[in-house]
Amino acid sequence: MTRRSVIIGTGSALPARAVSNAEMAKIVETSDEWIVDRSGIRNRHFAGPSETTGTLATEAAKRALVAAGIDGSTIDLIVLATTTPDQTFPAVATIVQNEIGANGCVAFDVQAVCSGFLYALGTADAMLRTGMATRALVIGAETMSRILDFEDRGTCVLFGDGAGAIVLEAQESDAADARGIIATKLHADGAHNEMLNVDGGPSTTGTVGKIRMRGNQVFKHAVNNLASVLSEVLEMAGIEPAAIDWVVPHQANARIIEGTAKKLGLPMDRVIMTVDQHANTSAASVPLALDLAVRDGRIKPGQLVVLEAMGGGFTWGATVLRM
Ligand code: UT7
């Protein structure tokens, strides 16, 4: 029997405060028209003083546990993707662990910026398939607003805060249409550090730093890298693009999402788009979009879904799964 990692529940959380483009235009010299035209973003959420990556991650995790109908104490692995942890250490995963009563299980963070959720999912899937764990929480959670330079209009209008979580369970089946993760492909290329980074860190400036991005250069790499990793992962899975029910892309820019779908010949009515509501929530964007589409009934059990993301590093990746 083949052991696969099956999604048995999803959840998400957003900060209470929603911030429109009109509000951003009071902070920097920009306009609703420019932001919508260049990125597709209309709204984002910013965490208040009592909201952190840890509180958002915990809320999303608890909702995923309720959706799965299981208790937190039955989780034996937590992998959390974030680039904006509450503390430099310990890992945010251990904060979630304590809040959901899964004390004692494996819990750690991964750092792959906007591709973080894909990296976390690939890691958890490998650990589940090799028997190191049986039920995992995989979380993407960010408070990007804490590392935005609100004097840089080229970046501060593009990001938002939020969290998304899934519960993965190891299940055995040899059925051709078995649920679970089918294939994952991940990449990184450290040659492009200066195109997208944060200008600080514990070991250099001793500060957290702020996001710096050469947006139009990142844009070109994003469309090419995403189209090629999608082709790679579909080939690994032996699946034609036409068989895909839904693509859940990283939500950085509507034009990147449309450009990638076009390269693969995928119609936009099979692509989940939330960038207008959430902006770029980095590692949280894919699980946030997934949860939204599961809860509104678009993504259904048994359907073929592709997840993809690209971010700082550069890092990029894609996963094919049957819900
Ligand atoms: O999640 C990680 C991956 N990140 C991404 O995938 C982001 C990729 N990049 C992008 O999404 C786009 O490049 C942006 C949305 C960031 C920018 O769009 P663009 O079409 O590439 O614009 P640009 O950077 O080439 O800037 C065009 C103009 C510039 O003015 P000049 O030099 O042409 O006079 C900018 O100064 O737009 C100006 N500009 C703005 N104007 C109004 C930059 N930011 C703003 C702003 N409001 N917020």
- pLDDT digits 0-9 by tens, 186-236: 999 999 999 999 999 999 999 999 999 999 999 999 999 999 999 999 999
Tokens of 244: 């895909």
**What are the Cα distances from residue 141, in Å, to 158, 178, 220, 281?**
17, 29, 26, 8
Q: How far apart are CA 285 and CA 155, in angstroms?
A: 17
**47-91 pLDDT per residue, tens:** 999 999 999 999 999 999 999 999 999 999 999 999 999 999 999
Dihedral angle over CA of 196, 202, 205, 206, nearest 10: 140
Whether 11 shows a pLDDT value over 90: the answer reads yes
Query: pTM for this one?
Result: 0.98
Give the pocket of ligand 1 (CB within 6 Å): 30, 34, 38-39, 114, 153-154, 157-158, 215-216, 218-219, 222, 252-253, 256, 280, 310-311
pLDDT above 90: residue 133 = yes
For Cα atoms 195, 250, 98, give the angle at the middle one, nearest 5 degrees: 100
pLDDT, one tens digit per residue, over 16-32 is 999 999 999 999 999 99
Percent of the chain with pLDDT over 70: 100
Domain residue ranges in the chain: 2-173, 180-322
- Give residue 152's pLDDT: 98
Query: In the prediction, which pLDDT does 98 show?
Result: 98
d(CA 229, CA 32): 33
Q: What count of other Cβ atoms lies within 10 Å of the Cβ of residue 38?
A: 17
Side chain identity, residue 200:
G
CATH topology classification for 180-322 = Peroxisomal Thiolase; Chain A, domain 1 (3.40.47)
Task: Give CA–CA dist 317/131, Å, rounded.
Answer: 24
Cα atoms in the Cβ-side hemisphere of radius 13 Å centred on 223: 16
pLDDT category at 263 given cuts 50, 70, 90 is confident
pLDDT category of residue 264 using cuts at 50, 70 and 90: confident
Q: In DSSP terms, which residues pair with 142 in a beta bridge?
A: 162
> For this structure, is 280 an active site residue?
yes
Catalytic status, residue 114 = yes
Give the fold, CATH level 3, of 2-173. Answer: Peroxisomal Thiolase; Chain A, domain 1 (3.40.47)
> Per-residue pLDDT averaged across 130-153, rounded?
98
Measured from the CA of 157, which atom of ligand 1 is nearest?
48
pLDDT digits (tens, 9 = 90+) for 99-124: 999 999 999 999 999 999 999 999 99
